[in-house]
Structure 1
Amino acid sequence: MHPAMKTFITEIEEIIKLEENESRLTEKVSERLKKIVMKQGIIPDIYKQPNPDKYTLYPVYIDPDNRFSIASAVWDVGQSTPIHDHGTWGVIGIIQGKEREIHYAIHPGQPPLKEFERNLQKGDVVVCCTSDQDLHEVHCASSEPCVGLHIYGGNIGEIERHIYDSETGKKTTVVTAWDKVPETT
């Protein structure tokens, strides 16, 4: 593991231990992520490999007490997520490529309503979701795979979340399990 990633994990552990306010917590996590997101080799190249069939979520680090997790999220060219929530806070930093993120509001019995969209590029760090604003879809917006370093408030590979039908808004409960990290050759 990259030394800067080890330091980052220690810093996140301290932030979570000391900060109860989610807004301040995500702000502090964002500040720390900005310091490492552009570091060469912050994650091994195997965590940047796309899956040709779907976007991929690799576990970079899972806190032993499931207080937070760090994921490498990879979208190949043309791939996207369904409209979904997380059930927790999240901070993302783009390591490679470009990402288009579309945020939605949901009202019972209606299709999701687009609120805003933003384009993120290498080096950008943002709070992607909070406990009270947590509905979006993500697209690879570049001619190379998009790779993001995602920090979530819990083990995102085990948290019950929801996907939403884009036409009806119907909510389906899912768990987005971790993808297996490719083996090195």
Structure 2
Amino acid sequence: MTPAPALTGVTAAVRTALRTARDWDTAYRRVADAVRPVLPGPEILTPEQRLGSPDGPTGHLLHAEPDGSFSVTAVIWRPGQTTPIHDHITWCVVGVLQGVEHEELYDQDLVRIGESDNLPGEVNGFAPPGDIHLIRNTGAETAISLHVYGTDLSRVGSSARRYYESARGTR
């Protein structure tokens, strides 16, 4: 899958960052640092893709690296849409292109340990373990984020490893 021209800077930055990454923590930190200055805007998606779906957050696979080392997905979140609490099969880097993404972080016992509002231009990441979270669009406009995962999502289908029933409280 050849990246669209608007993604060429992102895919080149990810490839460069991964050349010297020896573990998942190093990978996501280097990829986040490399993607931050080349983060595109929401116009990388067509107007139709930017609409999202009333049924829940909508993902669009934009690139899968031929060697399976990473993929790039855009996720569209209409106001109020949320994910269940979940964790991941690999590291991930997320850059917000539009809107606000509210993230709640949980420990292994499903106790909420933190939260943040991620704004356009912000790039963050994580690696398992320590990646249990949920994402919610708390804003009044559609939110769009770019996700770089350390695997080929066209082969595995989803970055989520497990979904959890509910949180147990706040620390």
Whether TM-score is above 0.5 comes out as: yes
Corresponding residue for residue 130 of structure 1: 127
CA contact (8 A) 1:36 1:42 kept: no
CA contact (8 A) 2:17 2:34 kept: no
Corresponding residue for residue 162 of structure 1: 162
Corresponding residue for residue 150 of structure 1: 147
Deviation of the 1:20 alpha carbon? 1.1
- SS of aligned partner of 1:25: helix
1:13-64 per-position Cα deviation (integer Å, ceiling 9, x unaligned) = 2332332132332222112221122547344444422111111111011112
TM-score by length of 2: 0.84
| Structure 1 spans left out of the alignment, 5+ residues | 169-185
Aligned length: 163
| Partner Cα separation in structure 2 for residue 18 and residue 79 of structure 1 | 37
TM-score by length of 1: 0.79
Identity of aligned residues (%): 26
- C-alpha spacing 1:123/1:167, structure 2 compared with 1 (3 Å): closer
Corresponding residue for residue 183 of structure 1: none
Work out which of the residue numbers 30, 36, 41 in structure 1 matches 2:32: 30
| Partner Cα separation in structure 2 for residue 72 and residue 48 of structure 1 | 9
Amino acid at match of 2:143: C
Corresponding residue for residue 49 of structure 1: 51
Deviation of the 1:134 alpha carbon? 1.2
CA contact (8 A) 2:42 2:50 kept: no
- C-alpha spacing 1:67/1:46, structure 2 compared with 1 (3 Å): farther
